[in-house]
Amino acid sequence: MNRTMRLNEKMIKGLVKKYGTPLFLIYSSRLMERVKLFRELLPRIEPFYAVKANSHPSILKFFLKNGLGFDVASKNEIETVLKLGGNPEKMIFANTVKSPESLKFAQKSRVLLMTFDSEYELTKIARFCPDAGVIVRIKVPNVGSVVELSLKFGVEPADAVPLLIKAYKMGLKPVGVSFHVGSQCMEVSNFVEALEISSIIFHDALLKKIPLEILDIGGGFPIIHSDSEHDIFPQMAERISTEIDRLFDKNIKIIAEPGRFLVGPACILVTRVIGKSIRNNKHWYYLDDGVYGCLSGIVYDHCKYQYRVFKKGPTQISTLAGPTCDSFDVISISEELPELEFGDIVYVENIGAYSLASATHFNSIPPAKTIFINTGG
């Protein structure tokens, strides 16, 4: 599989001529490749797409068509998936801090599988969604992950079984264990250790007459953002599969919450140069999208994107900046680029996750126009 999508320059320029820029392109063929790869390399694991990564309706419809479940984190995400035809039984409410209103909506909508990581949350669930099946989220190592998630979420593993017993006594149905190794995880040892901890909890819960049915291994599966990076997912998936088979019986349902892995490589942002200057003896190019738009992943997701152009010629170290009035809106200060002119295209691959989802309307500049390119799948 190619590291980056080989773009049809003529097609891209045609889209720019027709729609203008910025453009956010979603390729269905690439979405299909990612789904097939996940299922091929992690055959025991059922993917529940993390809607928060990119909730564009075209993406959700595509995953619905291809039989994926959904990890939802809010009332609005639940409502969005349901309106598109989603099955509530193939959804997990995987936010450990849920409002009473969202729990009431989940109860009404029969989205009854959800995570928790405190006794306070259990009390809230028991009150507002008494039919819920609950999964305890545990704290696990996040070493080497780009975004550390165990700082905010997860109970100590030693507290997991007592909380599951508490859930049972409250009239809820304790069904499993979940964890998250951190976003863009680069250490397979995080998964290995988390799986071992989870298997101990499964064993201890069974001894306490709380048989568990579901293991949710979360997300964090890494993608590459540039040609200089190495794709470690195949080796990581092989190790994860081996450990799952070693530690968990075949009757245990294994699910995951991939977001970035599925949509990251499927999308491209296309921008144009709308301003140009020389500052401190260096070319600055101002694009029509920036960190307040679909390049928000630079801030919120710690992404280091690769910026490409169709133009050829000698290169020089240049700065790219966004279109807003805020001096914080600087995209990169060290890009090797040929000299660009007004209207020249700058595009970014592997930008499908945590980009469009967190884009704002700052300065009343709308996010990029989204184009779904149906190339099969």
Q: Give pLDDT tens digits for 302-358.
A: 888 999 999 999 999 999 999 999 999 999 999 999 999 999 999 999 999 999 999
Identify whether the C-beta of residue 137 lies closer than 8 Å to the C-beta of residue 154: yes
303 a catalytic residue: no
Burial 360-372 (b: 16+ CB within 10 A, else e): eebeebebbebbb
Same domain? For 233 and 335 the reply is: no
- The whole-number average pLDDT for the span 164-188 is 94
- Residue at 20 is within a domain: no
Which range among 183-192, 219-228, 311-320, 347-356 shows the weakest confidence by mean pLDDT? 219-228
CA-wise closest residue to 283 among 235, 236, 190, 346: 346
Phi, psi values for residue 208, rounded to 5°: -90, 15
CA-wise closest residue to 131 among 85, 101, 173, 91: 173
Same domain? For 67 and 176 the reply is: yes
Tell me the pLDDT band of 270, cut-offs 50, 70 and 90: very high
Same domain? For 246 and 281 the reply is: no
Domains in the chain, number: 2
The set of residues, in sequence order, having a beta carbon less than 8 Å from that of 156 and lying 6+ positions away, is 138, 139
- Residue at 1 is within a domain: no
Same domain? For 163 and 241 the reply is: yes
Same domain? For 35 and 98 the reply is: yes
Same domain? For 230 and 313 the reply is: no
- Residue at 341 is within a domain: yes
Per-residue pLDDT at 84: 98
Instruction: Give residue-wise pLDDT tens across range 114-171.
Output: 999 999 999 999 999 999 999 999 999 665 544 544 566 799 999 999 999 999 999 9
Same domain? For 191 and 278 the reply is: no
Q: Which amino acid is at 334?
A: S
pLDDT over 70 at 271, yes or no: yes
- Mean pLDDT across the chain: 93
Question: Domain holding 301: CATH number?
Answer: 2.40.37.10
Q: In this structure, what token pair is assigned to residue 59? A: 């993406």
Q: In this structure, what token pair is assigned to residue 22? A: 């910025």
Q: Which 8-state DSSP code applies to residue 88?
A: G
Phi, psi values for residue 246, rounded to 5°: -75, -35
Instruction: Give residue-wise pLDDT tens across range 231-259.
Output: 899 999 999 999 999 999 999 999 999 99
Per-residue pLDDT at 377: 57
Question: Domain holding 144: CATH number?
Answer: 3.20.20.10
pTM above 0.75, yes or no: yes
Per-residue pLDDT at 302: 84
Same domain? For 252 and 145 the reply is: yes
- Residue at 19 is within a domain: no
Among 248, 263, 278, give the residue marking a domain's end: 263
Same domain? For 215 and 297 the reply is: no
Residue 198: domain span: 28-263
Among 245, 263, 281, give the residue marking a domain's end: 263
Active-site pick, 185, 267, 303, 325: 325
pLDDT over 80 at 376, yes or no: no
pLDDT over 50 at 1, yes or no: no
The set of residues, in sequence order, having a beta carbon less than 8 Å from that of 8 and lying 6+ positions away, is none
Identify whether the C-beta of residue 109 lies closer than 8 Å to the C-beta of residue 88: yes
Same domain? For 59 and 207 the reply is: yes
Per-residue pLDDT at 6: 57
CB atoms within 10 A of CB 110: 12
Per-residue pLDDT at 143: 54
Same domain? For 245 and 369 the reply is: no
Share of the chain above pLDDT 90, in %: 88
Which range among 11-25, 95-109, 215-229, 240-254 shows the weakest confidence by mean pLDDT? 215-229
Among 235, 263, 291, give the residue marking a domain's end: 263
Per-residue pLDDT at 36: 98
Per-residue pLDDT at 3: 44
Same domain? For 54 and 157 the reply is: yes
